[in-house]
Amino acid sequence: MKHFKNVLKLDLIPFGLSTYRTKGSSIFFNCNNVDDKCFENKLHACAIEHVEKTTILDFIACLMNKPDYNSYLEFTKKCANKLKLRNFDIIENCANSTEGSELLKRMGIKTHNYDQPLQNVPTITRNMSDDQEFSDRAYLNFIETVCLHLTEPISKVCKSSDASQEKSHKLVYALIVVLIFVVVLVIVYLIWRYKSRLISWSNNWSSLRTCCCNHAPGFPRNDNEQRDSNMDQHTDTEMEKLNRNEQHTQAMNDSQRPLTN
């Protein structure tokens, strides 16, 4: 974060979804019904108060990566030794005293001054305003999100981030092109490999369609059958005419025959 020291003011508020109440000079905290969590928050608040600004981010980052430790205080000491902090005793005494309670209360006041009640932790805000999209994006990529909201002068880390992002985009495009090329090659190979089978299947399909069409009801099988069918229809028509003429002649003869009693 040293790259942003001239353009960004970072305010760490270790309070989260906790609550507090006062009774006289006493302060009572409820940290999600976990007492150890309140002590952890006090350690963070005391560290923010007493650790140098150039080191505090590394120290808090170490504390946030807590493994499965039985004692959070012991883990905090390990982070302090890792960063060679000389005033850890001051931090520990602060967390176990009224100073730690006052500092944590101050963090609670800052949290309650937020536009909307916190829904989850950690929450990252810009100018203490409610912007869930900014919070989600900053949680996934803090540096990139900060760079998007910076004006001149832009930090070197932003330029390197843009260059890295552009490089990653080019890599993705290159991979897509290679994938398309491979797919085309596979298709061409399959067509070449099974060309004879494809031709055979095509011929069989054409024969099947011809066969099915020729045997379909209402369709003659060939030209000869079509011609024979037409001749049969013509013959039937002539026979019907002859029958009608005979019936007509018979009716005329019957009408001219004299009636006898």
Confidence category of residue 98, pLDDT binned at 50, 70, 90: very high
Domain residue ranges of the chain, discontinuous segments joined by +: 2-113, 194-261
| Residue 111 in this model has a pLDDT that exceeds 80 | yes
Any long-range contacts for 21-26 (C-beta under 8 Å, 24+ apart)?
22/105
- Per the model's pLDDT, the better-predicted residue between 64 and 7 turns out to be 64
pTM greater than 0.75: no
- Average of pLDDT values for 175-195? 86
Task: Choose from 1-10, 189-198, 215-224, 232-241 the range with maximum mean pLDDT.
Answer: 189-198
The pLDDT of residue 171 is: 76
Weakest mean pLDDT among 50-59, 65-74, 199-208: 199-208
Rounded percentage of the chain residues whose pLDDT exceeds 70 = 63
The answer on pLDDT for 256 being more than 60 is: no
What pLDDT, on the 0 to 100 scale, is given for residue 32? 76
